[in-house]
Structure 1
Amino acid sequence: MLTGLSGIGGSAALAMATATSASAAPASATTSASTSATTSAPAAMVAAATTDPVLHLLRRATFGPTPALVAEVRATGTTAWLDAQLAPLTKVPDATMDAVLQRWTRLGWKTWEVRECLDGGDQWTVMNDLLESHVARALFSRRQLLETVVDFWTNHLVVPVPSSEVWDSSHLFQRDVIRAHALGKYSDMLNAAARHPSMLKVLDNADSTKKAPNENYGRELLELHTVGIGSYTEADVKMSALALTGLSVDLESGLYSYKPQRRFVGTVKVMGWSDTNLVAENGSAVATSYLNYLANHPATAKRLATKLVIRYVSDTPPATLVSKLAQVYLANGTAIAPVLRALFLSPEFAASAGQKVRTPYEDALASCRILGLTPEPVPAAGVTSDLRSFVWQLSTFGQAPMGWPAPNGYPDVAAAWNGASSTLNRWNFHLGLAGGWALKAMKRPDVTTLVPSPLPSTYAVLVDALAARLLVTLSTAQRDAICRFVDHAPGDALRAGAAAVTWRLPSIVALLLDSPNFATR
Structure 2
Amino acid sequence: RRQLYEVMVELWSNHLNVTCPSSDVWTTRAAYDRRVVRPHALGRFEDMLIASMTSPAMLLYLGGADSRGDAPNENYGRELLELHTVGIDAGYGQADVVDAARALTGLTVWRPWDEGVQAADVGTFHYHPDWHAVGPVSVLGWTHPNATADGGLDVVTSLGRYLARHPSTARTVATKLVTRFVSDRPDPALVARLAAVYLKSGTAVVPVLRALFASPEFAASAGGKTRRPAEDLLAALRALGVTPDPAATGPDGALGDLCWLLDGLGHAPLGWHPPNGYPDVAPPWLGAGTTLGRWNMHVGLAQSWWKDGLVMPDLATRLLGTAAPETRGALVDALLARLLPGLVVDPAHRTALATFLGGEGPVGDGDTTWLLPVLVALVLDSPYWSVR
The TM-score bracket by the shorter chain reads: over 0.9
Partners in 2 of 1:476 and 1:376 — Cα distance?
Answer: 39
Runs of at least 4 residues off by over 6 Å: none
Hey, what does 2:117 align to over in structure 1?
none
1:508 matches 2:386:
no
1:434 matches 2:302:
yes
Hey, what does 1:187 align to over in structure 2?
46
1:360 touches 1:397 (CA, 8 Å); kept in 2?
A: yes
Q: Identity percentage over the alignment?
A: 52
Match of 1:174, as an amino acid?
Answer: D
Choose from 474, 478, 483 the match for 2:354. 483
Taking structure 1 as reference, are residues 404 and 414 closer, same or farther at Cα in structure 2, changes over 3 Å only? same
Partners in 2 of 1:146 and 1:494 — Cα distance?
Answer: 46
Match of 2:205, as an amino acid?
Answer: I
Higher relative contact order (CA 8 A, sep 6+): 1
1:387 matches 2:255:
yes
- State the shift of 1:496 in Å: 4.7
2:257 touches 2:309 (CA, 8 Å); kept in 1?
A: no
Give the 5 Å matches for 1:67-466: 142-231=1-90, 232-252=92-112, 253-379=122-248, 384-449=252-317, 450-466=319-335
Partners in 2 of 1:378 and 1:182 — Cα distance?
Answer: 32
> In the TM superposition, what whole-angstrom CA distance separates every residue of 1:119-159 from its partner, at most 9, and x where no partner exists?
xxxxxxxxxxxxxxxxxxxxxxx111111111111111111
Partners in 2 of 1:316 and 1:268 — Cα distance?
Answer: 36
Partners in 1 of 2:271 and 2:281 — Cα distance?
Answer: 17
2:257 touches 2:306 (CA, 8 Å); kept in 1?
A: no
* SS in structure 1 at match of 2:108: strand
* SS in structure 2 at match of 1:257: strand
- State the shift of 1:487 in Å: 2.9
- State the shift of 1:195 in Å: 0.7
- State the shift of 1:389 in Å: 2.1
- State the shift of 1:313 in Å: 0.3
* SS in structure 1 at match of 2:138: strand
Partners in 1 of 2:332 and 2:164 — Cα distance?
Answer: 51
> In the TM superposition, what whole-angstrom CA distance separates every residue of 1:191-214 from its partner, at most 9, and x where no partner exists?
111111100000001000110000
1:166 touches 1:201 (CA, 8 Å); kept in 2?
A: yes
Partners in 2 of 1:188 and 1:461 — Cα distance?
Answer: 55
Partners in 2 of 1:375 and 1:340 — Cα distance?
Answer: 32
> In the TM superposition, what whole-angstrom CA distance separates every residue of 1:449-480 from its partner, at most 9, and x where no partner exists?
12244332432221111111123432212111
1:310 touches 1:316 (CA, 8 Å); kept in 2?
A: yes
Match of 2:329, as an amino acid?
Answer: A
1:390 touches 1:439 (CA, 8 Å); kept in 2?
A: no
> How many pairs does the alignment contain?
375
Partners in 2 of 1:416 and 1:332 — Cα distance?
Answer: 34
Match of 2:97, as an amino acid?
Answer: V
Partners in 2 of 1:182 and 1:192 — Cα distance?
Answer: 12
Partners in 1 of 2:379 and 2:145 — Cα distance?
Answer: 63
Partners in 1 of 2:279 and 2:363 — Cα distance?
Answer: 47
Partners in 2 of 1:302 and 1:198 — Cα distance?
Answer: 26
Match of 1:427, as an amino acid?
Answer: W
Taking structure 1 as reference, are residues 439 and 189 closer, same or farther at Cα in structure 2, changes over 3 Å only? farther
- State the shift of 1:243 in Å: 0.9
Hey, what does 1:91 align to over in structure 2?
none
- State the shift of 1:378 in Å: 4.3
1:242 touches 1:264 (CA, 8 Å); kept in 2?
A: yes
Unaligned runs of 5+ in 1: 1-141
- State the shift of 1:495 in Å: 2.9
Partners in 1 of 2:273 and 2:352 — Cα distance?
Answer: 41
Partners in 2 of 1:227 and 1:262 — Cα distance?
Answer: 27
Match of 2:369, as an amino acid?
Answer: T
- State the shift of 1:351 in Å: 1.2
* SS in structure 1 at match of 2:294: helix
TM-score w.r.t. length of structure 1: 0.70
Hey, what does 1:520 align to over in structure 2?
387
* SS in structure 1 at match of 2:222: coil
- State the shift of 1:160 in Å: 0.5
